[in-house]
Structure 1
Amino acid sequence: MIFSFIAYRIFNQLKWPNESKEILFYNKDVVEIFHNYSHISSEMDLLLERGEYADQIIETSDGYKIPVSNDVLLFRLGSQQLAQKAINLSKAKEKEDVLLFLKWVYGGIIHGNIEREKVYKMCVELEIGDQFYDKLGPEGLLLDLEQAFQDEESKDFTIIVNKKRIKVHKFLLFARSNLFRGMFVSLQENNINEIKEHSSKSVQTMQIFIKSLYTDNVDLSGVKNAEQVIIELPEAFDFYQIDQKSKVFNRMKVQISDLKNPKKNKKF
Structure 2
Amino acid sequence: MKSKVWFAGVNSQTKIKKIKLHQKNFVLTEINDHIVEMCGSNFELIYYTKDNIFHALGRKPFHGSLFTSEEEKNKNSIVQVTSGFHHNLILTKTGRAFAFLGNLSCGFKEVYNIPTELDFFPLNGLKVTKIAGGEFQSYFLCENGDLFALGFKCTANTQKIKKKINYKKSKVEPLLICQDVLMLHDGNASRHNIYLCKDYTLWFQGAANQIKLENTEQNKQPIQIKNLDNRNIRQICIGYEMSVIVIGEDKVYTCGNVGSNGHNNKVSEFTQLRFFEGKPIEKVRCGCSQVIVLTKENTVYGFGHFFSSSKLNLTPIKINIPDFNYTEKLSICCGEYFSTIYTVNINSLANDFLKLYKSQEFTDYEINKIKIHRSFLEFRLDCEIEKISEFLKKYSKEETNFFLMWAYSDTISNLELINNICNHFGIEDVLEKQLTNDLLKLYKDEESKDFNVLVQDDEDDEDEEDEDGEEFEKIPVHKFILQARSGLFRDMFRNISEGESIKSVTDYSGKSVDSLEILIKYFYIDKIEITADNDPELTVEELSDAKEYYQLNEDSQIHNQLQNLIPNN
**TM-score, scaled to structure 1:** 0.76
- Gaps of at least 5 residues in structure 2 are 6-247, 250-279, 284-329, 332-343, 458-471
Corresponding residue number in structure 2 for 1:260: 568
CA distance in 1, matches of 2:363, 2:3: 25
1:209-246, Cα deviation, whole Å (9 max, x unpaired): 10011110112352433211111112233222112354
Shift of 1:208: 0.4
Corresponding residue number in structure 2 for 1:141: 435
CA distance in 2, matches of 1:19, 1:90: 35
Corresponding residue number in structure 2 for 1:177: 486
464, 475, 481: which one pairs with 1:166? Answer: 475
Could you list the runs of 4 or more consecutive aligned residues of structure 1 that deviate by over 4 angstroms after TM superposition? Answer: 18-22
Residue 86 of structure 1 pairs with residue 396 of structure 2: no
Q: Secondary structure at the match of 1:255?
A: coil
378, 383, 394: which one pairs with 1:74? Answer: 378
1:66-103, Cα deviation, whole Å (9 max, x unpaired): 111111111211232xx332211222211111001111
Corresponding residue number in structure 2 for 1:45: 354
511, 518, 526: which one pairs with 1:201? Answer: 511
With over 3 angstroms needed to count, the CA separation of the structure-2 counterparts of 1:188 and 1:242, relative to structure 1, is farther
- State the one-letter code of the partner of 2:403: F
With over 3 angstroms needed to count, the CA separation of the structure-2 counterparts of 1:56 and 1:159, relative to structure 1, is same
CA distance in 1, matches of 2:4, 2:526: 19
Residue 128 of structure 1 pairs with residue 426 of structure 2: yes
With over 3 angstroms needed to count, the CA separation of the structure-2 counterparts of 1:208 and 1:129, relative to structure 1, is closer
With over 3 angstroms needed to count, the CA separation of the structure-2 counterparts of 1:21 and 1:192, relative to structure 1, is farther
Corresponding residue number in structure 2 for 1:151: 445
Corresponding residue number in structure 1 for 2:541: 231
- State the one-letter code of the partner of 2:418: V
Q: Secondary structure at the match of 2:282?
A: strand
CA distance in 2, matches of 1:204, 1:127: 38
Q: Which one has a larger percent helix, Structure 1 or Structure 2? A: 1
Q: Secondary structure at the match of 1:260?
A: coil
- State the one-letter code of the partner of 2:522: S
Percentage of identical aligned residues: 32
CA distance in 2, matches of 1:236, 1:94: 41
- State the one-letter code of the partner of 2:416: E
Shift of 1:168: 0.6
Contact kept, 8 Å, 1:55 with 1:68, in 2: the verdict is yes
Corresponding residue number in structure 2 for 1:10: none
Larger RCO: Structure 1 or Structure 2 (Cα < 8 Å, ≥ 6 residues apart)?
1
With over 3 angstroms needed to count, the CA separation of the structure-2 counterparts of 1:78 and 1:20, relative to structure 1, is farther
Q: Secondary structure at the match of 1:145?
A: helix
**TM-score, scaled to structure 2:** 0.37
- Gaps of at least 5 residues in structure 1 are 1-17, 60-64, 262-268
CA distance in 2, matches of 1:106, 1:53: 14
Q: Secondary structure at the match of 1:199?
A: coil
Contact kept, 8 Å, 1:57 with 1:67, in 2: the verdict is yes
Q: In the comparison of the two structures, how many residue pairs are matched?
A: 223
- State the one-letter code of the partner of 2:400: V
**Which range moves more in the overlay, 83-92 or 162-171?**
83-92
CA distance in 2, matches of 1:146, 1:181: 22
Q: Secondary structure at the match of 1:93?
A: coil
196, 210, 230: which one pairs with 2:520? Answer: 210
Q: Secondary structure at the match of 2:476?
A: strand
Contact kept, 8 Å, 1:20 with 1:37, in 2: the verdict is no
CA RMSD, Structure 1 to Structure 2 (Å): 2.2
CA distance in 2, matches of 1:199, 1:43: 22
Residue 105 of structure 1 pairs with residue 407 of structure 2: yes
Contact kept, 8 Å, 1:44 with 1:175, in 2: the verdict is yes
- State the one-letter code of the partner of 2:386: Q
Q: Which one has a larger percent strand, Structure 1 or Structure 2? A: 2
With over 3 angstroms needed to count, the CA separation of the structure-2 counterparts of 1:236 and 1:250, relative to structure 1, is closer
Contact kept, 8 Å, 1:21 with 1:36, in 2: the verdict is no
Corresponding residue number in structure 1 for 2:415: 116
Q: Secondary structure at the match of 1:130?
A: coil
- State the one-letter code of the partner of 2:415: R
CA distance in 1, matches of 2:378, 2:497: 21
CA distance in 1, matches of 2:516, 2:2: 27
- State the one-letter code of the partner of 1:144: D
Contact kept, 8 Å, 2:527 with 2:561, in 1: the verdict is yes
Contact kept, 8 Å, 2:482 with 2:489, in 1: the verdict is yes
CA distance in 1, matches of 2:533, 2:568: 14
Q: Secondary structure at the match of 2:361?
A: coil
CA distance in 2, matches of 1:39, 1:128: 27
Corresponding residue number in structure 2 for 1:187: 496
CA distance in 1, matches of 2:539, 2:381: 35
